[in-house]
Structure 1
């Protein structure tokens, strides 16, 4: 196995998560999740986001932020079901592994982690643990911290050197649905190591990059100029006890760029900056293992799509990138591989996620159509044969990895 310089999420299996009854998909360093509004693209990203939130705060907080178990688990034939998530990954040292859990309801409207499993390396040979309803059933380590059925055991296990790399990889994922209104407002100075999901601490993140990663800041500036040519740069600006962003903008006849605070900038400019900061926020001390972005093309002029696409490709060389989109312009790249696409559709309220169908795949490989052109023709759909196989032979959440 070749050694990767960063962790990669290779495979995701979901069962009964929101509108997704079941899916089993492989991910690339850059993956586009494509489908119409309301098809369930966001639910796929939110399953990964839930894992990240549960590891960084608590499972209870992560579920309550989503309305509780009743809003998370999918109802099948009118009956409540438990939901489960399995993530297969490759760590920076080349070791493959998986992490999985499923959660069910209790009679008092509470919930419990029914099963939780983590394994690294060859089956039965590397670090591993298996837990059922808060009881350790198997473990490679001589000691294991106390666990309870209302929390994910990986949080406690992160104190053990054997499982710390798994925790770090999954807890360092970042997910973004950027909100220009929050980015425009004056912000309290915050810890700026990682951009928050809606961009509400972007001024602190820009300040952090100015101090510790000027090279990354220069990349953000370079791509921002490509997306919004009039903007010459952006800086953190102190305003009393608060902070905001200050943009340098070229003005006709002026010798030097004019300065404008974030409150004067358009939604498109702020969203473009947020996307670029999310992609290139990594520095020598910290970098997200995966960045998931909801519809980065929103509020951007179609002409900016090529520059945005170039930014996504460049960022994916260092950080795994997942993007939801329904933009033909963003996907109009003759060099885009069909393997980088996952198509999403909704049938009877159930979300299907799979590689694109064989006809569209072949059209892209023969360079007859780009993915963007196929999207305009409503031809980017999940392969029905793969969807049928997934439904008929659902992969197990627990057991050996296939990375």
Structure 2
């Protein structure tokens, strides 16, 4: 849905741009812009839903026509905006510019900032016609469906009101309610989730959310040997994280864009492939025989093991690098030497070595 993001003087992203595909795994050291990218997407969501934070149709067709904003950041060979630094002055007002894929390709979202840290004005630039304004309204609805997750195993292990199962919370604290709701309302989807989980972690034979008193429910799993029910406080981080990612992938109502920080968090390297596949189920539903709109994924990781799983898809890897105070993004597939790099061996090891960039400065 989002074709590209262009940053001007926003935190460490002084002059950076990034084209986004269906799946985007962002790798890089601390302070290289990974979290800032997700924060920008969340700010776009927040302001798109707030009338006072949106400037639409300022009355001049010229001011609102597509392309009336800053110059284009260029096109890559696949027709999407290229990923490269953009020209900017350190004295320019901070700004973030979003461009979109069809049917919103002629609309630009300009996120205006009063400082590097405060961005509170969203302007959708489009042609001053009734049709363009109607599409801008539909775009705002889509932007309201951006979600971001930083899962917390302590939060997921707690009991929660059974009524909180509509959508997984940002830290996953209502995982038990989401699983209970899926079991009650979408039993076939729940059965597939349970099958995927138990195939990945064969010591368990079932996902069995348990009543926890006073209208609450808690996560629990049934052991394959003996049938004992293991409650959430006795489950591993990895089991809880895998359950949460599977809950996202089987949710009956998917977001338009899903951001997940530290996608490898708490997960044993041998279980990272199922995590990747669960996210692929969202971004490429047709590959899993599902008929629903794809979800655009923006994930971050520090795990070379997870990076290595994307060896066959370098177009899905974004390398975030930082030199001094300035950070930039580079899509791995844009490198002219990408074939030679991939021929060297493990992609995770190559990244760890520093050849790709996206590692702490020494």
Match of 1:140 in 2: 129
Aligned counterpart in structure 2 of residue 275 of structure 1, from 245, 270, 283: 245
* Unmatched runs of 5 consecutive residues or more in structure 1: 1-7, 61-75, 125-138, 143-156, 383-403
Match of 2:60 in 1: none
Structure 1 residues 191, 246: closer, same or farther in 2, change over 3 A? closer
Distance 1:302 1:372 in 2: 12
Structure 1 residues 110, 41: closer, same or farther in 2, change over 3 A? closer
Moved more, 229-238 or 51-60: 51-60
TM-score by length of 1: 0.68
Measured against aligned partners, the alpha-carbon deviations of 1:218-270 in whole angstroms (never above 9, x if no partner) come to 34323323443323332433322342333223254x2xx22122222122211
Distance 1:327 1:110 in 2: 31
Distance 1:312 1:204 in 2: 21
Measured against aligned partners, the alpha-carbon deviations of 1:102-157 in whole angstroms (never above 9, x if no partner) come to 32439xx99863x71243xxxx4xxxxxxxxxxxxxx3239xxxxxxxxxxxxxx9
* Unmatched runs of 5 consecutive residues or more in structure 2: 54-88, 285-293
Match of 1:340 in 2: 316
SS in 2 for 1:321: strand
Aligned length: 312
SS in 2 for 1:232: strand
Structure 1 residues 304, 19: closer, same or farther in 2, change over 3 A? same
SS in 1 for 2:345: coil
Measured against aligned partners, the alpha-carbon deviations of 1:305-348 in whole angstroms (never above 9, x if no partner) come to 22222223232113221110121111223752221111011211
Match of 1:4 in 2: none
Verify: 1:184 aligned to 2:160, yes or no: no
Q: Is the 8 A contact 1:291 1:320 kept in 2?
A: yes
SS in 2 for 1:300: coil
Structure 1 residues 193, 58: closer, same or farther in 2, change over 3 A? farther
TM-score by length of 2: 0.75
Verify: 1:48 aligned to 2:48, yes or no: no
Aligned counterpart in structure 1 of residue 124 of structure 2, from 104, 117, 120: 117
Verify: 1:218 aligned to 2:229, yes or no: no
Structure 1 residues 190, 83: closer, same or farther in 2, change over 3 A? farther
Match of 1:229 in 2: 202
Verify: 1:371 aligned to 2:326, yes or no: no
Structure 1 residues 315, 232: closer, same or farther in 2, change over 3 A? farther
Measured against aligned partners, the alpha-carbon deviations of 1:47-105 in whole angstroms (never above 9, x if no partner) come to 11221233346888xxxxxxxxxxxxxxx86x7x64322222235xx453433123243
Distance 2:261 2:28 in 1: 12
Distance 1:99 1:238 in 2: 48
Match of 1:298 in 2: 265
SS in 2 for 1:330: helix
Q: CA RMSD in A?
A: 3.1
Distance 2:208 2:255 in 1: 22
Distance 2:13 2:52 in 1: 20
Match of 2:16 in 1: 23
Question: Deviation above 4 Å: which 4+ runs of structure 1?
Answer: 56-60, 109-112
Q: Is the 8 A contact 2:160 2:176 kept in 1?
A: yes
Structure 1 residues 47, 161: closer, same or farther in 2, change over 3 A? same
Verify: 1:10 aligned to 2:3, yes or no: yes
SS in 2 for 1:10: strand
SS in 2 for 1:196: coil
